[in-house]
Amino acid sequence: MKPRKLLTTGAVALGLLATAAPSASAAAGPSGDGQLRVTIGQPGSRASTLASPAANASCTVNRITVNRFSECEWVTVHLDVVKVINGRPVIEGTADFSVKHQMTLKTNSANWSEKFTISKAATTGQGRGVAVKFSATSGGGTKATVHFQQGHTLDSAASGSVDYKTTAIAPKKINPKAKTTYGYTFTKAGYSPGSVSYASAVYRCDNYYGSTRASRAGCAIPEAPTGVSMVGLARIDEGIRKLRSRGGHYGDPNGGKPLHWMINKTQEGRNRAAVCPRTAPADMRRAGRTSCDEYPFASTYEGGTALPAAQREITWVKVNENKAQGGRITAWRGQMHVMDHDPFYVIA
């Protein structure tokens, strides 16, 4: 079986898995014992690019693809039907099938759903007639409920869904990160059961921007980068592009490293003070550009003097332009549920 790879479209997200089935090298039992042994592709390399958070993640076999609000996980599974004869395991049949998950989170609700399909198995010998039961468990204050015809045989395709419901989140609160663990139990008369499990990408729900009057709860895949645009903020946009023309690559969606948001007002102030002079130069004051705009932003873990001088820049701008930038960032953070340590890019 080919290795299972992990691809993130706008993310670096893990789909961890574990198998729980007798291994092929397990000691043989008494003559006539039957076993179902299950293997699954392993997660492999991963890539990261910026994608539209509004689009559903595409599906690729043996990979996980994600963006800020969706995931597609396509898993291949191999099952051996084994009988122990004269003390030695003999494969009497096989079943090969795939499972495709499509999960879509919501920016304005902490409840969402997922659809999955199990393909018709390609079987040999005693691989026919194997039944499957499916389970899904979540965490972080979210409960998963499965809708599936349990005991379905792999001789035909099947589909199901998982509903996710999150306990009400208090204003200004962020739930712990969580993931879904999918479990399968396979049975066939005359054989001991086999099982396998694997996990979704990590997700996180919050009501950080909510208030007692209005909930703003929603969920996102936190390791999937999003992007905030500075286009149209003339001086700020210009300053970032000048830095990039000299080799500054942090936050650049075109092959650069992402920035990481920081929720720490004290450190934010220190970062700004470390790079911004107290007063603007005389020529900037004459031009009315008295507000220091620092890049990377002071509110990032790359802000202040965290990066070498060649990877940062300050630009003197008018106060109104700096205020407009702050409004954009606040709106973007709320819509994309950007929290502490979340990666992102800056479009300029």
pLDDT (tens digit per residue) in 249-266: 999 999 999 999 999 999
pLDDT of 30 strictly over 50: no
Is the Cβ–Cβ distance between 325 and 298 less than 8 Å?
no
pLDDT at 164: 98
40 three-state secondary structure: strand
pLDDT class of 325 with cuts at 50, 70, 90: very high
* pLDDT confidence bin for 198, thresholds 50/70/90: very high
Helix (H) or strand (E) holding 241: helix 234-245
CA distance 44 to 16: 10
CA angle 72, 78, 80 (to 5 degrees): 160
The pLDDT of residue 45 is above 70: no
Which of 82-86, 260-264, 310-314, 344-348 is predicted least confidently? 82-86
Q: Given a cut of 90, is residue 86 above it in pLDDT?
A: no
Instruction: Say what the pLDDT of residue 9 is.
Output: 38
> Mean pLDDT over residues 149-161, rounded?
98
Mean pLDDT of 211-237: 95
Q: Where are the domains of the chain?
A: 8-209+215-220, 226-347
Return the higher-pLDDT residue of 182 and 46.
182
Q: Which residue has the higher pLDDT, 245 or 19?
A: 245
In this structure, what DSSP letter does residue 3 have? P
Find the range with the poorest average confidence among 50-64, 137-151, 296-310. Answer: 50-64
Residue 229 CA to residue 240 CA, distance in Å, equals: 11
pLDDT on residue 47? 38
pLDDT of residue 49: 52
CA-CA distance, 216 to 173, in Å (whole number)?
A: 11
With bands split at pLDDT 50, 70 and 90, how would you rate the model's confidence at 56?
confident
Residue with tokens 């106060």: 319
On the question of pLDDT at 323 being above 60, the answer is yes
Per-residue b or e along 10-36, where b marks 16 or more CB atoms closer than 10 Å to that residue's CB: bbbbbbebebebbeeeeebeeeebbbb
pLDDT score of 61 more than 60: yes
60 band by pLDDT with thresholds 50, 70 and 90? confident
Residue 223 CB contacts under 8 Å (≥ 6 apart), including other chains: 8, 11, 12, 13, 14, 201, 202, 342, 343
Helix (H/G/I), strand (E/B), else coil: 17 = strand
Give the separation between CA 7 and CA 17, rounded to whole angstroms.
Answer: 15
Closest CA to 259 of 295, 229, 292: 295
Q: Percent of the chain having pLDDT more than 70?
A: 86
pLDDT of residue 211: 92
> Taking the C-alpha atoms of 63, 67, 68 and 69 in order, what is their torsion angle to the nearest 10 degrees?
-80
Query: pLDDT at position 54, please?
Result: 59
Contacts of 89 (CB under 8 A, 6+ apart): 24, 26, 28, 35, 82, 83
The tokens describing 298, both together, are 């002071």
Taking a C-beta distance cutoff of 8 angstroms, is the pair 78, 108 a contact? no
The C-alpha torsion from 89 through 90 and 94 to 99, rounded to 10°, is 10
Per-residue pLDDT at 33: 78
Report whether pLDDT(267) > 90: yes
Contact 79, 21 (CB under 8 A): no
pTM of the model: 0.85
